[in-house]
Chain A
Amino acid sequence: SQQGEEDPQALSIQEGENATMNCSYKTSINNLQWYRQNSGRGLVHLILIRSNEREKHSGRLRVTLDTSKKSSSLLITASRAADTASYFCATLRDTGRRALTFGSGTRLQVQP
């Protein structure tokens, strides 16, 4: 079973609105990262939050992490049409696998 699962699977909003995506995971982690993928392209790293951090900001991005609930959220404020993409959370486990494990992603559509 996959480590990270994003919710919702798809999200459509108007330009200027905020977009919130959630990620749940199963095992204890070292860190959690969010990546973005434009249609049919490679993934691009957005932000990383460590297991001992609760919130992190980068520009219009805000990430929270709740290790007790094994969940994270990505908030994009004042969304733009150019934010249209798929967003993936990826986790690095505390032990074992030496690579990131990705979820299925949230497809965000920002209507101009």
Chain B
Amino acid sequence: ETGVTQTPRHLVMGMTNKKSLKCEQHLGHNAMYWYKQSAKKPLELMFVYSLEERVENNSVPSRFSPECPNSSHLFLHLHTLQPEDSALYLCASSQALPGQGARGNTIYFGEGSWLTVV
């Protein structure tokens, strides 16, 4: 148990559906992240939030919409996805952003949400 909880663990959705992935961290961290992990590809950083403010959007298509209502919760809203968006979506948190002293150096990952788009 890393202190970062993701739900649901598995999600199957059609291309016209709207669904959301949820992430909650119980570590008192100020930074949260969404990463995408596809087969045989490096982890792709999608979004970075610091103190509920989005600080990085890594050229992610608008069919992925993040929301950070408070420093403990992060959502990824999904709309009109494509089959190639099927992947493991990993949420992570850190005490501070990387580079902001030692506090930001270790990030803690959730177990991920397996998404299948059919």
- Contact indicator B99/A98 (Cβ below 8 Å): yes
Closest to B4 in A: A42
**A2-B42, A42-B90, A88-B43 given; A100·B99 CB < 8 A:** no
A1 to chain B, nearest CB (A): 10
Cβ of A31 within 8 Å of any chain B Cβ, yes or no, is: yes
Residues of A contacting B: mostly: strand
**A104-B41, A104-B42 given; A98·B97 CB < 8 A:** yes
B7 to chain A, nearest CB (A): 13
- Contact indicator B56/A102 (Cβ below 8 Å): no
Cβ of A20 within 8 Å of any chain B Cβ, yes or no, is: no
B108: A residues at CB distance < 8 A: 45
Q: Which of B40, B99, B106, B114 touches A48 (beta carbons < 8 Å)?
A: B106
In the complex, A43→B92 CA distance in Å?
A: 9
**A97-B56, A98-B55, A99-B33 given; A42·B111 CB < 8 A:** yes
Cβ of A77 within 8 Å of any chain B Cβ, yes or no, is: no
Interface centre among B4, B33, B99 (most CB of A within 10 A): B99
Cβ of B81 within 8 Å of any chain A Cβ, yes or no, is: no
Residues of B at the A interface (CB closer than 8 Å) are 2, 4, 33, 35, 40-43, 45, 48, 50, 55-56, 88, 90, 92, 97-99, 105-112, 114
Residues of A at the B interface (CB closer than 8 Å) are 2, 4, 30-31, 33, 35, 40-45, 48, 88, 92, 97-105
